[in-house]
Amino acid sequence: MRSDHTAAVAETVEHQDAQRRRWGALRARLLQVNPSAMPTAAAIVLFVAMLVFGEVSYGGIFQSNTLSNLLINNAHLIIIAVGMTFVILTGGIDLSVGAVIAFSSVAGVMLANAGWNPWLVMVVMVAIGLLFGLVAGTLIEFFNVQPFIATLATMFLGRGLASMLSTTPERLADDSPIRLLSRRITLVDGPGVNDLELTAGGIIAVVVLLGGFFVLHRTRRGRTTYAIGGSENAASLMGLPVRSTKLMVYMVSGGLAGVAAVVYTSRLGIAQNITGTGWELDAIAAVVIGGTLLTGGAGYVLGSAVGALVLGLMNVLIVRDGGINPEMTTVITGAILLVFVLLQRGVTMRRSDL
Amino acid sequence: MNVRDLARRALAARYIWAVVAILILLAVNLVRDPGYLAVAVNPVTENLSGNLLDILRNAAPILMIAVGMCLVISTSGIDLSVGSVMAVSGAVSMELLSSADGAPSAAFTAILLALLVSTVIGVVNGLLVAVVGLQPFITTLVMMLAGRGIAKVITSGQNTTARNETFRWIANGHVLGFPVVILLALAVVLVVGLVVRRTALGLMIESIGINARASRMVGIKPRGLLITVYSVSGLLAGIAGLFTVSTVMTVDVSQTGSAMEMDAILAVVIGGTALAGGKFSLTGAVAGAFLIATLNKTVVFLGVPSSATPAFKAVVIIVICLIQSERVRGYVSSRRRVPATRAKEGVA
Amino acid sequence: MSERAPIVEMRDISIEFPGVKALDAVDFRLFPGEIHSLMGENGAGKSTLIKALTGVYRIDSGSITVAGEPQHFSGTSDAEKAGIATVYQEINLCTNLTIGENVMLGHEVRGRFGVNWKATNKVALEQLARLGLEGLDPTKPLASLSLAVQQLIAIARAMVIEPRVLVLDEPTSSLDAKEVESLFVILRRLRDEGVAILFVSHFLEQVYAISDRLTVLRNGQFEGEYPADLPRSVLISKMIGKELEAFRSIDMTAQASSAQRHEATILDAEGLGRKGSIMPTDISLQRGAVVGLAGLLGSGRTELARLLYGADKADTGTITLRGKRTTLGSPVAALDQRIAFSTENRRDEGIIGDLTVRENLVLAVQAKRGWMRPLPRKEQDRIVAKYIEELGVRPADPERLIKNLSGGNQQKVLLGRWLATEPEILILDEPTRGIDIGAKADIQETVLKLADEGVAVLFISSELDEVVRICERILVLKDREKIAEIENGPDVTSQTIVGIIADHGAVVEEVAS
Amino acid sequence: ACGNGDGSDGSTDAGDGGTADGDLVTVGFVAVGPEGAWRQANEQNIQDTFTEEAGYELKFAPAANLDQASQISAFTSFVDEGVDVILLSATEGSGWEDSLRRAQEAEIPVILIDRGIEPDDTSLYVSRIAPDNMEVSSAVAEWAVSEFPDGGRYFVLEGPAGVSVVNERNEGWDAVMDDQPQFERVGAQTANWSTEEARSVFETVLSSEGNDIDIVFAQNDEMGLGAALAAEAAGLQPGVDVQIATIDGTQNALEALAEGRLSFVAEYNPLFGETAMEVVEKVLAGEEVESYIIVPSETFDSPEAAQEALPNRQF
Ligand SMILES: Nc1ncnc2c1ncn2[C@@H]1O[C@H](COP(=O)(O)OP(=O)(O)OP(=O)(O)O)[C@@H](O)[C@H]1O
Ligand SMILES: Nc1ncnc2c1ncn2[C@@H]1O[C@H](COP(=O)(O)OP(=O)(O)OP(=O)(O)O)[C@@H](O)[C@H]1O
Ligand SMILES: [Mg+2]
Ligand SMILES: [Mg+2]
């Protein structure tokens, strides 16, 4: 009995020990994670802090509808931010996403109204995005045009083609299946409009995010993307497929702009040539807030999604405040952004100075 | 230095294609209207007038910001705030003038104050980039948002109009029939050009743009240089703002200078300076700025519909980029070999 | 061996860069199961030939056959597919990724859910273990490693694909004797397994120790293919294209300076250290003396030098410069005090790639003068001409971009850059890395000449022979700590130092001076 | 039974139409934000009307960069928060159905300010208060027809391509001009609502047309003023050599009209805060309101008319 008892005690102790060791290892791992993860972690912390701040000062933030709408209203931004992350990780930039969305959605709605199969139309919309990405990628990769300029050109091109197609809003039929993507699925029915809801668009955003994470962290292509951002020259001398990967990232960004076009069009039910003006800057800001370096090579796609949500939350907070002088809104937006990157910088600096 | 040498040097410069593009656009306009290039004395105003002068006048603000942008880009940075700084500078000067009398002294005060505020914004950019270590893109993006807000705060959201003949003269005056604004712009470019190229400033700016770490080891102080460069960019954007508002004596806080940063960046890149930083060409930036002004004017002159304008610009940009690219040039002069891998060095 | 078919055969290869014929009708053959050294001075075209083979540069003429098939690779990845793995001269790794990833990039182990990182890192660790690096944690960032270890990582990476042909362009330039020996063990084993190895090095001993055959290039031209029992003097004269006369000077200068002692201390550092990089260390430099820093990889030599130059800030310790206490907070401050530091990390901290040789050469002088006082063009040309001539930079064209120079010539330009500032204290971190034997002698001679002129020199080199040859006092570092300081003398050899390092730990205190 | 009167409980009260903040009625104003003098006057007027003294808490949410997406999220946020009434001044007319339906579900009445929605489904909102763009621009065209009975050559300075105001103002103008074959349309260019761009565009147009333009239709005052400057710089006298007509009726424009630099200004009246408040009151009291309340606008066709209107001009 005694020995049994001791054995049992020893076992528990051992078990606890093992657990502690496991915990210790986990903690150690968490503490010494890649320093490049710090800005992203900071972004997440700051996002939560903003939520709490909003709840305390204005209320009504931690409630189902506000949170649901944060995702639903920013689904398109999350999607293009994921695409933008790919491009920025290679050290490039894609200014064309907003214009691509405009062209893709106008063209898509016009085709749908011309009687094309709506599912086919959605595919075409994504394909248009891919095509723009291909053009930009080709200019960059084969003709050595700088990404900023190449995508500025495709931005003008997209905007111009969209305007040439139509300068009036193109309306989608109310019963079009494309509209289904924005049908709200109620998960938890609360009082009034205070429901926990989700749309297919929101789900797509999450899937895109997870897909982006998988590709970047679990495939060779993804790692090559990071390598290119570290040093393109080194990556090509290491025998990595630099060219095709760079082509790929622009196509990913363009294709996701196409997806965002589908999601956004579905939500509004219309398409317009002026849709998406300035969204490229939102997406870039989201990526940067999320902790990705604009010089490439470091960052996380998850951070970009958080960045997109931060931007969305910022708007909500400004609206909730309601008393901000209209002249001041851009100053305040800028200031919040600045505070954000400064805090992030502070956090990362202390880490690297250790 | 014989003619052949000069010709070879010109062909080696990347901005030669900007010049060629300008010539082509002018030629297209000439086809549309054979009298396009004529410069004549306007019988009513007794000043020189003509499409070429219009282009030059319109190029003046772009010229200013392109030169500033060129220096910033050379340090491997970027300044997205120039358009907003233009608005701030315009807002400051118009607000001041609208409450002052039309005296010349008011104009000088307005100019000084506007330039001061613009420079301060530039200094803030510089400090954030050089001292705090933020990324230039995001820093100046913040400043682009905040700057436009500041302009709106200054005028309380109004589009302020003012009257002051001295101030108006900047963009509308003539010296011997020649528009003042062009002379001013060229003088500024010349001064900047001389300062960066006759001193070692240009070399040091390029050096930190190519390899900041190595530059530090050589004893160059990147901090001071970066702050200087961003301040200069702010100052030049301020001048551009003054040029712009003085043409119409109105500041439009949401429109003045909007999207001008893209024009400036485009001008710089078409002029042969790489966005990755390093070697810069002010001459190239100037050529790029003139190209953009010519392009803007051509679009209107040809009556391209508003909806097709962006596509038209896109085509022109793409064509220029293609011509500039080694690959296409390789096809043209097939004697030159093209290395399979670009000589582009991984920037640390 | 020669009856067998070559696995790589390059015929009549020519490559011309604007203004330079880098390769002019060069032939090269590599057989399975041999280690073949490619020899030549700096700028002879060795690296270019390698890049021609792997398709990084497109050849202007000639043909490349691999395993009997004509090939036209368009880059490293193509070459890898044909079984050719390459380690280029400048280490090409991604410092933003982990050690394991750098080894395995493009060859990650894939499982059901994409890349299996655990397995990948395991394979990486196995590869690293082959090179004696089993102590490394593959999940750590590469940036935390010193340059030398990075070089080993690059080699480990090349071996991952189990190549038929292994190309190593100056793999040993920053390794010390121990690492070189373990590398050679592996190379010999690979050779015995039938792998063809192309090896480039400027160390003749290494070449003779490992090679089966040699190909010599001179000025981009094929000089000849020889068995590895060619007498040294013949080999050298083939490489430099003249008789050996000029070459004698090396041995003559050996330990020449240790004859007299120098007392005029110019710099005296006490307890200088920095957390995480070097323990508090005392070091003093005298006018006219060459002081050496010896130690194994990662022993903290570079770190110490950086503290003396202000490139990193010291946490502890004091510096007394010319009798006055100073703090060196930045390179600018150090330069003002007439200290110069030539870095071991040529690519990232040395050259400014897109500037010309002239601009690179005068940059430090210019930085000292400040931007307001530009160096007149005439003065620039004078300085440039002087050092191009003195250090034998080739091609001797000051208007060429420095990134287009061969590695060794870049190093010479950098040395010139610092000499041009006329320093009183010159810190040289691996100044002879990648430099051909002729030029190495020149550089050693230059260093001794500077010392004679009263310059205090701190000389860091992984080549112990070199340290012993020219230093009058040698500090030995181990594990980021100074373990000994010895006075050079006729009885001191590289073996003495190796012994000190090996014995440390067993014998607690080593006698100083 | 804990009384938290700080308004953080807004959402729980959503739907019962009550006033969450003590006595104040919370009004969410989805606004456009700084865009030009007209917008400034309009939004200032509304802010000045819905004051706390009048019993309102006005929550003001301007769009970021005139972007519809930001307006939609502001709108959604107001619904989530549970304000009592929403005033919607849309940058774009279409694409609002879903948002409006949600407001309906939350029983929050929506009143459209200025811009209508497309398609105009009156069941989705309570009322629209606005001047009529088509009518205003038709008025300009009719003036042109009466001024130039024999016709003439005209040029249009538009806002950015694709914006609904631009489309509507074009439509109103074209509706009249299409029946007037004696008028020749020289062209139309965007000047992005901006004076300096308008000046630059029109100077080129003048040179390409050899100064042969009779009428300029500027879709806002700012662009009209730019055209006047361009004409003057080219040595023409606006009002004599070329007639410039603009829409909006800001103070600057009326001053220019008084000086004879502009020839015709059609007001697009921004001052309807009072009307909006009346509507809100009625709606909250459960009364019926008209679904479209047109705000009357004036036109000014002579320096004298402008002189007369100037002293009382509020924008
Ligand atoms: N990308 C390039 N552009 C122009 N010239 C080049 C380029 N690469 C090499 N060269 C020139 O080609 C010649 C051969 O250089 P290479 O690098 O092959 O020499 P190397 O034998 O490897 O010398 P080292 O021992 O110094 O490494 C040199 O004169 C060099 O200046
Ligand atoms: N850039 C760096 N960043 C972080 N840590 C570094 C860096 N360089 C070196 N280290 C660390 O400092 C240690 C000492 O490196 P150091 O370069 O001083 O060694 P060394 O004696 O000069 O040898 P060698 O330069 O020949 O490798 C290395 O083992 C490495 O862990
Ligand atoms: Mg080499
Ligand atoms: Mg070292």
Secondary structure of chain B in HEC code, one letter for each residue: CCHHHHHHHHHHCCCHHHHHHHHHHHHHHHHHCCCCCCCEECCCCCCEECHHHHHHHHHHHHHHHHHHHHHHHHCCCCCCCHHHHHHHHHHHHHHHHHCCCCCHHHHHHHHHHHHHHHHHHHHHHHHHHHHHCCCHHHHHHHHHHHHHHHHHHHCCCCCCECCCHHHHHHHHCEECCEEHHHHHHHHHHHHHHHHHHHCCHHHHHHHHHHCHHHHHHHCCCHHHHHHHHHHHHHHHHHHHHHHHHHHHCECCCCCCCCCHHHHHHHHHHHCCCCCCCCCCCHHHHHHHHHHHHHHHHHHHHCCCCHHHHHHHHHHHHHHHHHHHCHHHHHHHCCCCCCCCCCCCCCCC
The whole-angstrom separation of Cα D140 and Cα A141 is: 53
The residue-averaged pLDDT of C226-232 equals 89
Q: What is the pLDDT of residues C308-331, one digit of tens each?
A: 999 998 889 999 999 899 988 889
CA distances from B174 to B50, B109, B177, B178 (A): 14, 22, 5, 5
Determine the distance separating the centroid of ligand 2 and the alpha carbon of C483, expressed in angstroms.
17
Task: Pick the range with the lowest mean pLDDT from A71-75, B302-306, C152-156, C264-268.
Answer: B302-306
The whole-angstrom separation of Cα A272 and Cα B160 is: 32
Determine the distance separating the centroid of ligand 1 and the alpha carbon of C196, expressed in angstroms.
24
The whole-angstrom separation of Cα C441 and Cα B257 is: 62
Interface present between A and B (3 or more CB pairs within 8 Å)? yes
Q: Which atom of ligand 1 is nearest to the CA of C57?
A: 1
* Residue D11 clears pLDDT 90, i.e. is over it: no
More confident residue, B140 or B11: B140
CB contact under 8 A, A142 and B327: yes
Tracing tokens 């202390």 back to the chain, one arrives at A350
Chains A, D: CB pairs < 8 Å: 146
- Give the three-state DSSP class for C128: helix
The residue-averaged pLDDT of C222-247 equals 81
Q: What is the DSSP string of D15-76?
A: TS---SBTTBEEEEEEE--SSSHHHHHHHHHHHHHS-TTTTEEEEEEEPSTT-HHHHHHHHH
The whole-angstrom separation of Cα C236 and Cα C44 is: 13
Query: For residue C139, what is the nearest residue in chain A, using CA coordinates?
Result: A34
Taking Cα atoms as reference points, which of B106, B69, B61 lies closest to residue B87?
B61
Bridge partners, residue C114, by sequence? C111
CB contact under 8 A, B300 and D200: yes
Buried b (16+ CB within 10 A) or exposed e, B211-231: bbbbbbbbbbbbbebbbbbbb
Model confidence at D282, pLDDT cuts 50, 70, 90, reads: very high
Q: Measuring from atom 7 of ligand 1, which residue has the nearest CA?
A: C404
Model confidence at B344, pLDDT cuts 50, 70, 90, reads: very low
- C239, amino acid identity: M
Å between A183 CA and nearest CA of chain D: 9
Quickly list H helices, chain A: 2-31, 38-57, 64-89, 97-113, 118-142, 147-165, 200-218, 220-230, 232-237, 242-268, 279-289, 301-321, 326-353
Determine the distance separating the centroid of ligand 3 and the alpha carbon of C173, expressed in angstroms.
11
Out of A79-88, C20-29, C398-407, give the one with best mean pLDDT. Answer: A79-88
CB contact under 8 A, B250 and D203: no
* Residue C508 clears pLDDT 50, i.e. is over it: no
pLDDT over 70, % of chain A? 88
Cis before C395? omega within 30? yes
CB contact under 8 A, C331 and B219: yes
CB contact under 8 A, A223 and C105: yes
More confident residue, A166 or A23: A166
Model confidence at C221, pLDDT cuts 50, 70, 90, reads: very high
Residues with CB under 6 A from ligand 1: B 343; C 17, 20, 22, 40, 42-48, 89, 395, 404-409, 434, 436
**Quick check: B332 contacting A, CB < 8 Å?**
no
The residue-averaged pLDDT of D2-11 equals 38
Q: What is the pLDDT of residues A34-46, one digit of tens each?
A: 667 778 888 888 8
Spatial contact of D75 and D30, defined as CB atoms under 8 Å apart = yes
Sheet strands side by side (includes C324-326):
C278-286, C265-274, C316-321, C324-326
Residues 6+ apart with CB under 8 A from B96: B106, B109, B110, B113, B114
CA distances from C367 to B129, B208, B215, C420 (A): 21, 12, 9, 12
**Quick check: B308 contacting A, CB < 8 Å?**
yes
Cα distance from N-terminal residue to C-terminal residue, chain C: 53
* Residue D12 clears pLDDT 50, i.e. is over it: no
Task: Report DSSP state, residue C459.
Answer: E
Task: Report DSSP state, residue C73.
Answer: -
Q: The tokens of C226 are what?
A: 């020889």
Taking Cα atoms as reference points, which of B216, B94, B113 lies closest to residue B167?
B94
Query: For residue D186, what is the nearest residue in chain B, using CA coordinates?
Result: B303
Bridge partners, residue C66, by sequence? C8, C69
Determine the distance separating the centroid of ligand 3 and the alpha carbon of C41, expressed in angstroms.
9
The whole-angstrom separation of Cα C419 and Cα C393 is: 14
Q: Which atom of ligand 1 is nearest to the CA of B343?
A: 1
Q: Phi-psi region for residue B76, left (φ > 0), alpha (ψ -120 to 50) or beta?
A: left
* Residue D19 clears pLDDT 60, i.e. is over it: no
DSSP H or E stretch at residue A291: none
The whole-angstrom separation of Cα A152 and Cα A246 is: 17
Question: Mean of the per-residue pLDDT values for chain A?
Answer: 86
Residues 6+ apart with CB under 8 A from A215: A221, A222
Cis before D109? omega within 30? no
* Residue C195 clears pLDDT 70, i.e. is over it: yes
* Residue A190 clears pLDDT 80, i.e. is over it: no
Ligand (nearest to CA of C294): 2
- Taking CB atoms and an 8 Å cutoff, what residues of chain A touch D106? 192-193
pLDDT value for B211: 92
* Residue A16 clears pLDDT 70, i.e. is over it: no
CB contact under 8 A, A269 and D69: no
Task: Identify from B9, B203, B211, B218 which residue to disrupt to test chain C contact, counting C C-beta atoms within 10 A and taking the largest count.
Answer: B218
At A106, phi and psi to the nearest 5? -60, -45
What value of ipTM does the predicted structure carry?
0.85
Dihedral of the alpha carbons of C406, C411, C415, C416, in degrees to the nearest 10: 10
The whole-angstrom separation of Cα C231 and Cα C235 is: 6
**Quick check: A34 contacting C, CB < 8 Å?**
yes
Q: The tokens of B50 are what?
A: 């003509």
The residue-averaged pLDDT of C42-52 equals 92
Interface present between D and C (3 or more CB pairs within 8 Å)? no
- Give the three-state DSSP class for C433: coil
Taking Cα atoms as reference points, which of A244, A227, A225 lies closest to residue C157?
A227
The whole-angstrom separation of Cα C118 and Cα D260 is: 81
Spatial contact of B253 and B159, defined as CB atoms under 8 Å apart = yes
- B182, amino acid identity: I
Model confidence at B340, pLDDT cuts 50, 70, 90, reads: very low
- C121, amino acid identity: N
Task: Identify from B48, B144, B159 which residue to disrupt to test chain D contact, counting D C-beta atoms within 10 A and taking the largest count.
Answer: B159
The whole-angstrom separation of Cα C382 and Cα C359 is: 13
CB contact under 8 A, C114 and A230: no
Q: What is the pLDDT of residues D23-37, one digit of tens each?
A: 789 999 999 887 777
Task: Pick the range with the lowest mean pLDDT from A2-6, A46-50, C45-49, D227-231.
Answer: A2-6
* Residue A258 clears pLDDT 90, i.e. is over it: yes
Closest partner residue to A298 among C77, C96, C110, by Cβ? C96
The whole-angstrom separation of Cα C447 and Cα C134 is: 38
The whole-angstrom separation of Cα B48 and Cα B45 is: 8
Q: Which atom of ligand 2 is nearest to the CA of C277?
A: 12
Taking Cα atoms as reference points, which of B143, B72, B109 lies closest to residue B285?
B72
Spatial contact of B63 and B271, defined as CB atoms under 8 Å apart = no
Q: What is the pLDDT of residues A84-113, one digit of tens each?
A: 999 999 999 999 999 999 999 999 999 999
At C242, phi and psi to the nearest 5? -140, 175
DSSP H or E stretch at residue C339: strand C339-342
The residue-averaged pLDDT of B62-81 equals 95
The whole-angstrom separation of Cα A213 and Cα D209 is: 58
Task: Identify from C54, C150, C336, C352 which residue to disrupt to test chain B contact, counting B C-beta atoms within 10 A and taking the largest count.
Answer: C352
- Taking CB atoms and an 8 Å cutoff, what residues of chain D touch A323? 59-60
Spatial contact of A158 and A97, defined as CB atoms under 8 Å apart = no
Model confidence at C48, pLDDT cuts 50, 70, 90, reads: very high
* Residue D6 clears pLDDT 70, i.e. is over it: no
Sheet strands side by side (includes D299-300):
D184-190, D153-158, D215-218, D243-248, D264-267, D299-300
Ligand 4 being an ion, which residues bring their Cβ within 5 A of it?
Answer: C 301-302, 344
Model confidence at D3, pLDDT cuts 50, 70, 90, reads: very low
Q: What is the pLDDT of residues A132-176, one digit of tens each?
A: 999 999 999 988 888 988 999 999 999 999 999 988 888 888 888
At C218, phi and psi to the nearest 5? -140, 125
Q: Which of C147, C153, C279, C303 to mutate to test the pocket of ligand 2 (most atoms within 8 A of CB)?
A: C303
The whole-angstrom separation of Cα A163 and Cα A170 is: 12
Task: Identify from C345, C354, C427 which residue to disrupt to test chain B contact, counting B C-beta atoms within 10 A and taking the largest count.
Answer: C354
Model confidence at B331, pLDDT cuts 50, 70, 90, reads: low
How many other CB atoms are there within 10 angstroms of residue B142's CB atom? 27
**Quick check: C115 contacting A, CB < 8 Å?**
yes
pLDDT value for A263: 95
**Quick check: A237 contacting C, CB < 8 Å?**
yes
Spatial contact of D41 and D55, defined as CB atoms under 8 Å apart = no
CA B227 from chain centre, in angstroms, equals 19
CB contact under 8 A, A328 and B138: no
Spatial contact of A176 and A170, defined as CB atoms under 8 Å apart = no
Q: Is the entire prediction scored with pTM above 0.90?
A: no
The whole-angstrom separation of Cα A229 and Cα C97 is: 10
Spatial contact of D58 and D89, defined as CB atoms under 8 Å apart = no
Q: Is the dihedral of CA C58, C61, C64, C70 positive or negative?
A: positive
Closest partner residue to B301 among D208, D225, D236, by Cβ? D208
Dihedral of the alpha carbons of D270, D275, D280, D283, in degrees to the nearest 10: -130
CB contact under 8 A, C105 and A227: yes
Q: What is the pLDDT of residues B136-181, one digit of tens each?
A: 988 999 999 899 889 988 988 788 888 888 999 998 888 888 889 9
* Residue C44 clears pLDDT 70, i.e. is over it: yes
